[in-house]
Structure 1
Amino acid sequence: MSSKEVMIDEIPFPVEINRTRPLALVGQGMTSLEIHFLEIKLNAIGIYMDKDVTNHIYMDKDVTQHLESWKGKKRAELEEDNLFFNALVSAPVEKVFRIVVIKEIKGSQYGVQLEGAVRDRLAEVDKYEEEEEAALEKVTEFFQSIYLKKDSVITFYFLATSSAAEITFTKEGKEESKIQVDNANVVEMMQKWYLGGSMAISPSTIKNLAEKFEAILCQ
């Protein structure tokens, strides 16, 4: 394993990726199901954000500067604080969620999961209108035509300067398909599916984010 990689359930994740600037791996985990006391691992997750850019050539704020209120907080406090995770979601910095498939499934199954989670969150805050429905249908249709083989990758890219997001599907190292989501409410709830604190899909990722940010916010 390279010193520039970490292993998440035997899957290598780079510690840094580049979009318009370097993004650091600030959290990791996985999604799984428990069936008859047996854990079925579904996906490995890497969360990347714009961090420490003040040490580079950029003048923008990095994510830590949007989290000043949580400096000095311990892991357990952060893990239980949904306001902290809301601040992560709303921080206007570049973010990438790298999802690597462990248990292969149809793309439609993943798409239905995503659609249901986003729709329910929007309905709960009374933001599920025709525009959101249309944007979400577009995302669901995107996943209908793909098959999530083991080691294939779904990438969510959230821009810092707009409310748009980009979803990319990569198989065997080659980009297969891509879609842009322009509805701000849908984009926000897609972020919350993975970063939504107690309501997130991956408790292990939330726990790891809390642990990492305890250390990051002490620097």
Structure 2
Amino acid sequence: MVDEIAFPSVNADPKPLALLGYGITDIEIHFLQIKFTAIGVYADKEIVGHLGKWKGKKGSDLKEDDDFFDALVSAPVAKQLRIVVIKEIKGSQYGLQLETAVRDRLAAADKYEDEEEEALEKVINFLQSKYFMKNSVITISFPAAPAPAEISFSTEGKEETKIQVENANVAEMLQKWYLGGSSALSPSTVASLAENLGELLSQ
């Protein structure tokens, strides 16, 4: 349970992926914590085989190690982010946040060309048309094979909608926004991933 939202320990879509970490996005205003989304990070357990360099490290060490999270992002296994809305917002607000985060990361890596701009614009247009009611779900799926990532959006009373993210650089920076260690959106999710993967790596 993450803030009263249940995340199954295995997400079977399209193949069984294990819940490896979870957390929230929030902001503090005048000493009040306002929670926006709950996040579940799923991945094929084979991911542990790609993180052998960190075998025996504690979660508290992994949490501070950006190389570990880079290896997590680049590991060629299926991963999925399940993001559940706690406090309703407009899709344009989420889209603007995503656009800035992804564009800044692409620019810093010198990967922001016309193709990336076009792919990012498609994602933003898709999100801007949505209203993120409480309990709406955004699912971002990253396949193991070199295939497009996919963003799906579902909310009560409406049919699920999807968009493909065909640009690999945009997909990578989307992963880094959520899973990128010290620069990631949700410190609680990063800490949870470090703790749980640390345990798996010690087995």
TM over 0.5: yes
2:187 to 197, 203, 209: 203
Unaligned 5+ residue runs, structure 1? Answer: 1-6, 52-61
Q: Which has the higher contact order (CA 8 A, sep 6+)?
A: 2
SS across alignment from 1:8: coil
Structure 1: distance between partners of 2:158 and 2:90 = 18
| 1:20-65 Cα deviation digits (max 9, x unpaired) | 42100000000001101111000000000001xxxxxxxxxx1010
Unaligned 5+ residue runs, structure 2? Answer: none
2:107 equivalent in structure 1: 123
Offset at residue 172 of structure 1 (A): 2.1
1:190 to 174, 177, 181: 174
Report the TM-score, using the length of structure 1 for normalisation. Answer: 0.91
2:8 equivalent in structure 1: 14
Q: 1:95 to 1:133 in 2, by over 3 A?
A: same
2:165 to 181, 189, 200: 181
Q: Do residues 66 (structure 1) and 50 (structure 2) align?
A: yes
2:199 equivalent in structure 1: 215
Offset at residue 173 of structure 1 (A): 7.5
1:142 maps to amino acid:
F
2:28 to 21, 34, 42: 34
Report the TM-score, using the length of structure 2 for normalisation. Answer: 0.98
Structure 1: distance between partners of 2:12 and 2:23 = 21
Q: Do residues 87 (structure 1) and 71 (structure 2) align?
A: yes
1:187 maps to amino acid:
A
1:4 equivalent in structure 2: none
2:94 equivalent in structure 1: 110
Percent identical residues: 64
Note if contact 1:163-1:183 (Cα within 8 Å) is conserved in structure 2.
no
| 1:88-119 Cα deviation digits (max 9, x unpaired) | 10001111100000010000100110010000
1:87 maps to amino acid:
A
Offset at residue 163 of structure 1 (A): 4.6
1:144 maps to amino acid:
Q
SS across alignment from 2:6: strand
1:40 maps to amino acid:
I
Runs (4+) of structure 1 exceeding 6 A deviation are none
Note if contact 1:98-1:155 (Cα within 8 Å) is conserved in structure 2.
yes
Structure 2: distance between partners of 1:173 and 1:22 = 27
Structure 1: distance between partners of 2:28 and 2:118 = 33
1:75 maps to amino acid:
G
